[in-house]
Chains A and B, each alone.
Chain A
Amino acid sequence: MTEIAVRSGGQAGDGIASIGEAIARGYSRMGLHVFGFNAYQSVIRGGHVWYQARTGDARPYSQGDGADVLYALDKQTVDVHAASLRPGGTLVYDKEKFEVGDLPAGVTALSVPTLEIARKYTSQSILQNAAGLGAAAFLGGIPLDILHQVLADSFGRKAGDVVTWNLGASAAGYEFASKNARVHPHAPKKAGAPKLLMNGNQAIALGAAAAGCKFLAQYPMTPASSIMHWMAAHATEVGVVVKQAEDELGAINMAIGASFGGVRAMTATSGGGFALMVEALGMAGMTETPVVVVESQRSGPSTGLPTKTEQGDLNLMLGAGQSEFPRAILAPSNPAEAYRAMILAFQLAEDWQTPVLVAADLHLSESHMTVDRDEIDLNVDVPSLFTVDPNGHDYKRYQYTDSGVSPRALPGQPGLNFIAGSDEHDEKGHLVSDVRSGIPVWVAERQRMMDKRMKKLHGLAAHCEPPAFEGPHDADLTFVAWGSTVGAVRDAMPMLAARGKTTNLLRFPTVYPLDLTTVTQAFAKTHRTLLVEENFSGQFGRLLRAETGIHVTDRLLKYDGEPFYPYEIVSRAMEMMNRGG
């Protein structure tokens, strides 16, 4: 892959994300596939943040391994990132702000008079960003007219002067760079119609709306909050009630109430909030009330690293809730998959009347990726939830059936009144937990009702997305991955191919339940395997072993808060394959 990565860095509050997104959107408007990586800290002002937009002649699935253009708004950015600049790369800075020392071989420094350009328009120094952005866009091969469209659109309805200044300053930066530097040799050309650029959380919210979700209750927590932000901003347009709850206990109980009341409902949170939702998750399982829960993981334990990624909550998601009830855990790896996963999640929750979890993580939630328009199908059929015939006699909400799924009535339907009970109950929903408990006939009833609920797990397993191979058949090495980690593996495979190594990927879009036959058959097609997971103990590997007896002994695990970089996967794979055996 011939690629180019444009990185910008500075302090929180400097507008780094805006600069980075403008570059990313510039490329997506050129019809190119882009990966936009937003690295930030848990501070509102100060600290160090950076954004990298990566594109090329193939679709990038991760942030990649280096940078070709680096726009440094402060000295710290140079200190932290100069080493990432590849030969042929350019550092954009302003010597009025700071001087730079030695740079890696083959890297050029370009001082752009960003402050001087900004002063021509305003005393507000933030305008320097536009000048630097213009220079970076030139070096990265983004035409000025496209950059200007992106900027004009991003300012939208704001005052005219601000737009004019930004267009002027970015043009000046662009022109300065064009006179004093050359476009990077890897700069791409326009490739076709604009692509859609979105982050995982936007895709999740959009997917939920498309799936017919009518109610979202949520409590703010990074990195899940922007699901609520998107939905709230579009609430009237998509007809979704968005409720910021008093806490995560409230959020999930509201969602379950709304679902019981007759609408498709969801909540979203990160690990800490999900820990608070655990008891209610079991209530959804016991009352057989559909609910979709998005768990966007971040580095833990406890508060952990709030703005850094991890896949460390799989054990929690698997075990959340006392005793046992059926659940599914879906694990999309990028926005396009997340969109489809939400549609499937709502379908599964509704069909099997049980909670469905969508395991996201910060790297998926907050990284930008392009999707093609045809990857986002908004025309999803959303059937009515009123399925039970109101003229039915002797209605039993928890009737025993072959599939374990019982006919579900909604409050307001005459003649079907029932009680949903979090206590163990009989087919009508009446308690078997107090005066009936321990009496032989009701002991048997309890076991039968438990069997009925757990039966749904088979149905779920049959309707979840099975594990899938990507890449060549009969590869020397097969990567085993789930969730956002899949992205770096996808980028590593062609790098390994370029080194003469044949690898493929066995991706798990569903991490639970796992169908024994399907998984066993998949592993029968592998030679050597390498588990790639973003957690300390290889939680998915452990699950795989517990559920199927398959033990992936080679593991590449990471838990430093940073996403996998393709080179890390490449070097481990090379080491394994060179070792032979």
Chain B
Amino acid sequence: MGTPLPVVGKSEIKPTWCPGCGDFGVVAAVESALKRLQIPSHNVVIVSGIGCSSNLPHFLSSYGFHGIHGRVLPVAEGIRWANHSLTVIGTGGDGDGFGIGVGHFVHAMRRNVDLTYVTMDNQIYGLTTGQASPTSTMGQKTKSTPRGVIENPIDPIALALASGATYVSRGFSGDVKQLTDLVAGGIQHKGFALVDVFSPCVTYNKINTFDFFRQRVYKLESAGHDPSNIVTAWQRALEWGDKIPVGLFYKTEKPTYEDLEEVLAPGPLVLQPAGVKGKERLLDEFV
């Protein structure tokens, strides 16, 4: 006794991302946020789906669940409901979260499940070598859209506001310091926290590069944005073009799904008794 339990650090596995990938900044920010909050590593579960960014859990020393494409959130929700004393972080890419998994994204937010969802949004499918993603820009030429994308991109921030997320933020992997603050804020927030991260793909997206974002992003906190104001949050969410806001768009306190689920009131499900021994009254309705 006496030795503090270890907090999350790097694992023995080195990231396999392309040199210069935006995801390096994200894993660094997640690690420093968890270190700052001093949450013991055994109480953290990082869940991911499939895609380059979904390899993230392997590179940190917490518990992890590296699942299938698009199902980060239902797995993360299940873990939370089994044991809501755990810190649960979902990670994945834009294809995973806003393409194949977008249905789960909307529902997890309306439930206000208390977890943090960090999306590494590079506006392209990287691991499958460069097809259009749900956040690819209109007109962008990719392997699957050689004549340009002809669909409007999903706006994760606006979708989150519309779906009832209670912590809505956007970071940039080129600014690990701000990103760390946003991730730490999301983890501390009681409810669903979205941290959508511009995390450029240096191999397959030659449009939305580090330079592209460096020239355009501005910080909401420096612009005097009040994150408790849903109306101005919407206005900022719709900004796109020469100036793109990053930071905390919106934050509000609401009961979480776990608060409202009566069965969880006595404590984490994992610690509750199981079975129906002695509950013979359950049979009365069948007489």
Question: A-side interface residues toward B, CB under 8 Å?
Answer: 28-29, 194, 196-198, 202, 206, 209-215, 217, 234-243, 245-247, 249-251, 253-265, 279-280, 282-283, 287, 371, 373, 376, 378-382, 385, 410-423, 429-431, 434-435
User: Is B43 close to A, CB under 8 A?
Assistant: yes
Task: List residues of chain B with CB under 8 Å of any chain A CB.
Answer: 5, 13, 16, 40-43, 45, 47, 50, 55, 57-58, 61-68, 70-71, 74-83, 85-86, 103-104, 106-107, 261-264, 269-270, 272-280, 282-283, 286-287
Most chain A CB inside 10 Å of its own CB: which residue of B77, B86, B264, B272: B77
The listed residue with most A CB atoms (<10 A of its CB), out of B61, B79, B273, is B79
Is the beta-carbon distance between A263 and B274 smaller than 8 angstroms? yes
Counting chain B CB atoms within 10 Å of each CB, the highest count among A257, A385, A420, A423 belongs to A257
Instruction: Give chain B nearest CB distance to A151 CB in angstroms.
Output: 14
Contact residue among B81, B269, B273, B278 (Cβ-Cβ distance under 8 Å from A378):
B278
* B275 and A261 form a contact (CB under 8 A): no
| Contact indicator B286/A412 (Cβ below 8 Å) | no
Contacts A253-B75, A421-B66 aside, 10 further interface pairs with beta carbons under 8 A come to A217-B78, A250-B104, A257-B65, A258-B78, A261-B82, A412-B83, A417-B61, A417-B64, A420-B65, A429-B64
A412 to B84, CA, bound (A): 10
A418 touches B63 (CB 8 A): yes
Q: By the criterion CB–CB under 8 Å, are A246 and B104 in contact?
A: yes
Task: Give the interface centre of A251, A255, A378, A429 by most chain B CB atoms within 10 Å.
Answer: A378
Q: Contact check, A197 vs B286: say whether CB atoms are below 8 A apart.
A: yes
Chain B nearest CB from A426 CB (Å) reads 10
CA–CA, A328 to B30, complex, Å? 40
Indicate which residue in A211, A239, A414 contacts B42 across the interface (CB closer than 8 Å): A414
A197: which B residues are within 8 A, CB to CB?
286-287
CA distance A214 to B282 in the complex (A): 16
B107 to A, closest residue via Cβ: A246
Contact: B47 with A257, CB < 8 Å?
yes
Partner of B82 from A262, A279, A413, A417 at Cβ < 8 Å: A262
Q: Are B81 and A422 in contact (CB under 8 A)?
A: no
A238-B282, A260-B78, A435-B16 known; A417-B41 Cβ under 8 A: yes
Contact A410 B270 (CB under 8 A): yes
Flag if B78 contacts A259 (CB, 8 Å).
Answer: yes
Task: Give the residue name and chain of the B residue nearest to A253 (CB).
Answer: B74
Verify B75–A379 contact, CB threshold 8 A.
no
Is B76 within 8 A of A257, CB to CB? yes
B66 touches A423 (CB 8 A): yes
Main secondary structure of the interface of A (DSSP, over half): mixed
CA distance A447 to B83 in the complex (A): 34
Flag if B74 contacts A411 (CB, 8 Å): no
CA distance A4 to B93 in the complex (A): 64
Q: Give every chain A residue within 8 A of B262 (Cβ-Cβ).
A: 235-236
In-complex Cβ contact of A245 among B62, B67, B74, B287 (8 A): B74
Given the contacts A237-B282, A378-B278, A253 and B67 also touching, CB distance less than 8 Å: yes
In contact, A254 and B77 (Cβ under 8 angstroms): yes
The 3 A-B pairs of least Cβ separation, nearest first, read: A257-B78, A261-B82, A212-B274
What CA separation (Å) do A410 and B42 show in the bound complex?
A: 9
Q: Are A414 and B5 in contact (CB under 8 A)?
A: yes
Residues of B within 8 A of A202 (CB): 286
Asked whether B274 lies within 8 Å of A264 as measured between CB atoms, the reply is yes
Contact B74 A430 (CB under 8 A): no
Do residues A265 and B283 form an inter-chain contact, with CB atoms below 8 A? Answer: no
Q: Are A379 and B103 in contact (CB under 8 A)?
A: no
Q: Is the CB of B5 within 8 A of A196?
A: no
Q: Once the chains bind, are B68 and A257 in contact (CB under 8 Å)?
A: no
B78 contacts A265, C-beta separation under 8 Å: yes
Q: Which residue of B lies closest to A397 (CB)?
A: B63
Query: CB < 8 Å: which of B81, B83, B263 contacts A254?
Result: B81
Cα(A378)–Cα(B274), bound, Å: 12
The residue among B47, B76, B277 with the most chain A CB atoms within 10 A of its own CB is B277
Q: Which residues of chain A are near B58, meaning CB under 8 Å?
A: 419, 421, 430-431
How distant is B87 from chain A, measured CB to nearest CB, in Å?
A: 10
A380/B78 in contact, CB under 8 A: no
Query: Are A257 and B75 within 8 A (Cβ)?
Result: yes
Residues A382 and B65 in contact in the complex (CB < 8 Å), given A250-B104, A430-B58: no
Shortest distance between the CB of A320 and any CB in chain B (Å)? 14
Complexed CA–CA distance, A254 and B63 (Å): 17
Chain B nearest CB from A29 CB (Å) reads 7
CA distance A197 to B5 in the complex (A): 53
Report how far A239 CA is from B103 CA in the complex, Å: 28
Q: Which residues of B contact A243 (CB under 8 A)?
A: 77, 81
A239 to B262, CA, bound (A): 9
Cα(A371)–Cα(B283), bound, Å: 11
| Chain A proximity of B165: nearest CB distance (Å) | 15
User: Contact: B78 with A283, CB < 8 Å?
Assistant: no
Query: 21 A-B contacts, Cβ less than 8 Å apart?
Result: A215-B269, A237-B279, A239-B269, A242-B263, A243-B77, A243-B81, A250-B104, A253-B68, A254-B74, A257-B79, A258-B82, A259-B78, A260-B79, A261-B78, A261-B81, A265-B82, A283-B68, A411-B43, A413-B42, A414-B5, A419-B63
Question: Distance in Å from the Cβ of B17 to the closest Cβ of chain A?
Answer: 10
Q: Least Cβ distance of A288 to chain B in Å?
A: 12
